[in-house]
Amino acid sequence: MIHQSMTSNLSFYISSVSHLSSPLPSLSRLSLRCCSSLPAHDMETKPSQGLYPLHRCKTIHLVRHAQGIHNVEGEKNHKAYLSEDLFDAHLTPLGWQQVDNLHKHVNASGISNRIELVVVSPLLRTLQTAVGTFGGEGYKDGVNTPLLMTAGAGNSDRPAISRLNRPPFIAVESCREHLGVHPCDRRSNITKYRELFPAIDFSLIETDEDVLWKPDIREEDKDIATRGVKFFNWLSTRKEKEIAVVTHSGFLYQTLNSFGNDCDPSVKNEISKKFVNCELRSFVLVDKCMSSSDPPMTNYPGTILTGEDASSDIADQK
């Protein structure tokens, strides 16, 4: 988990339409902004856009997990979320169909080839969604590469999934669903996950057992929002420029509601509206407090001229 103040100086912008442990690094203090919402008479004199150096921006593809068995039972009767039968809920057959469709989309759109890192919540349904969406094709004999998922993992009938030519996958506790009370949101031991998902990096998770989930205390919305903002602060410190995050509806809704409060209401709504199962939305995350130390890769310094070829503004100053 990340333990820092909630203040953030990150901006969050929508960049495209949606498709139906070692301790984490220390984080800078950061405030949430988007873009200015201006009266009509000011639109010609004041910018309503944000302009930021490219090397301080990241593309983040947010994905809610596909349909899990808890979604089906919870829609029938909300009290079903209290059932131990739904412990660490796995995907339904329909959920796997949703994953297959999203897998086709990220490949056809080119997203799959651009992503440098996949960050995933360490619950069975998100792990299955992540490897099914962003993983390679089925395992092939003679190809010596770690498996993202073993055959039949998590009560599925799915073949093994290869990590061949895929980016790193890393599991992070801080993008989990609301903690506590609901057994579907309690994770299995990391030892078990490492057997089922050998190529996923679980090193950032400090305990084998789930010590964050409490049977009688449900995490409040404001607390998951704080946790979510800190998670995005951590993302801003990563070196990767294009990252996929596979997580949960409650986490996404409460976290994204922290962004865009000074935007036009329609933009705010576009940022924070609830995700459906296996939905992907792409955003631009802007670092405005120099958390990232990445140098600009496309800038060119040019040459400062002081002679006859100096620019007119320099000449005027003489």
- Note if 65 is an active site residue: yes
Tell me the angle at which helices 249-256 and 265-272 cross, rounded to the nearest 10 degrees: 160
3-state SS string over 58-83?
A: EEEEEEECCCEHHHHHHHHCHHHHHC
Residues, the chain:
318
Q: Where do the H-state alpha helices sit in 142-290? A: 190-196, 221-237, 249-256, 265-272
173: which DSSP letter?
A: G
Q: Are 12 and 231 in contact (CB under 8 A)?
A: no
What is the identity of the amino acid at 135? G
Q: How far apart are CA 64 and CA 102, in angstroms?
A: 11
Catalytic residue among 65, 178, 182, 248: 65
Strand order, beta sheet including 242-247: 10-16, 280-287, 57-64, 242-247, 117-120, 169-171
Backbone angles phi, psi at 63, to 5 degrees: -130, 130
- Within the chain, what is the greatest distance between any pair of CA atoms? 81
112: which DSSP letter?
A: H
- Note if 177 is an active site residue: yes
H or E segment to which residue 286 belongs: strand 280-287
Catalytic residue among 177, 219, 248, 279: 177
Q: How far apart are CA 290 and CA 178, in angstroms?
A: 30
| Residue whose C-alpha is closest to residue 168's, from 131, 126, 205 | 131
What is the identity of the amino acid at 68? G
Q: Are 151 and 160 in contact (CB under 8 A)?
A: yes
φ/ψ region of 173 (left if φ > 0, alpha if ψ in -120 to 50, else beta) reads alpha
What residues are labeled active site? 65, 177
